[in-house]
Structure 1
Amino acid sequence: MRTKIQNIEDLRAEIDRLGQVRLEMETELKIEVVKISAKITAPFLLLSKLYDFLGFGKGKSESKEGGDWLSSILRIGLPVLMNRFIYPKSGFLIKTFIGLLSQNAVKSINKDLMITIIEKLSDWIKSTGNKSKKNPEMADYGIPPDSETF
């Protein structure tokens, strides 16, 4: 509640009290800001770790194993796909062996190799498509020879 200010000492006391209230509120707000920023930065840290792992980071994963985003995805996805669809009823040792072999095979696969394979495949498809098509005759829209006057 408000207190009645009668003289200068009451005014100074009220100013001191309001200063203390302000400091308490500021410290509470600073604590809340720290809590909120901690909650917000946790997902961003997770995303940055994920980007670094997939190769979108600025050189960390490139120097770590020489892989890019494709090889990072294949390093995880290929053993899962093989164990799930190709060898679903195999034992623990076979699945472990498949995982090790597929991860070693993925080290040689990168996005540049996949791009060259896709380009060669598309060139081959285009070349087989051109052989089956006949070249259309060029239409002559010039003056017909019978229309000349002598």
Structure 2
Amino acid sequence: MDEPIKNSWDLRQEIIRLKGVEKVQGEAIAERFNSPAAIFSTLFSLFPKSPNTGENKSSIFNQDFVSILSRFLIPITLNKTIFKHSGFLIKALVGLVSQKASGYVNEESVVGIFDKVKALFTKKRTYAKEHYPYSL
């Protein structure tokens, strides 16, 4: 819209112009979804390629099992426990934030945390065996 609408004639012309734009955009959208291959290419374009390696690290199809599982379990767990009586907007925000946070949860990080916890229990047990050999 280049010129401001000053009278009814300008308004009618703008309506005609907008209907033409709507028709062109509707045809473009229909063309984009006219075949299954076009639909899949549109869906895959939602997951952009990583600029560094050429492979898609952020895509749900190239993640390990723990990452995929955390993308669903973190929001559900938070919304069912901590934010149980919250409204729709809060739950939606929690879902968005936890989706981003789940990108940092992968198999390596979970195994690393498990190894640290395991090492703590191993240290406690060896300490107990050294200092209290008859108690265990």
TM-score, reference length from structure 1: 0.46
* 2:110 corresponds to 1:114: yes
Q: Which amino acid aligns with 2:81?
A: F
Equivalent residue, structure 2, for 1:100: 96
Q: Which amino acid aligns with 1:78?
A: I
Whole-angstrom distance in 2 between the partners of 1:76 and 1:95: 14
1:31-89 superposed Cα distances (whole Å, 9 cap, x missing partner) = xxxxxxxxxxxxxxxxxxxxxxxxxxxxx986725521111111011111111111111
**Structure (1 or 2) with the greater helix fraction:** 1
SS in 2 for 1:87: coil
- The structure with the largest alpha-carbon Rg is 1
1:12-49 superposed Cα distances (whole Å, 9 cap, x missing partner) = xxxxxxxxxxxxxxxxxxxxxxxxxxxxxxxxxxxxxx
Whole-angstrom distance in 2 between the partners of 1:111 and 1:80: 20
Whole-angstrom distance in 1 between the partners of 2:90 and 2:82: 12
Q: 1:121 to 1:132 in 2, by over 3 A?
A: same
Q: Is the 8 A contact 1:61 1:68 kept in 2?
A: no
Whole-angstrom distance in 1 between the partners of 2:116 and 2:103: 21
Q: Which amino acid aligns with 2:121?
A: I
Q: Which amino acid aligns with 1:64?
A: S
- Equivalent pairs counted in the alignment come to 77
Whole-angstrom distance in 2 between the partners of 1:73 and 1:111: 10
SS in 2 for 1:121: helix
Q: 1:64 to 1:70 in 2, by over 3 A?
A: same
4+ runs deviating over 3 angstroms = 60-63
- Selected match of 1:64 from 35, 59, 64: 59
Q: 1:63 to 1:85 in 2, by over 3 A?
A: closer
- Selected match of 2:85 from 76, 83, 89: 89
Residue pairs, 1:26-45, within 5 angstroms = none
For structure 1, which runs of at least 5 residues remain unmatched after alignment? 1-59, 137-150
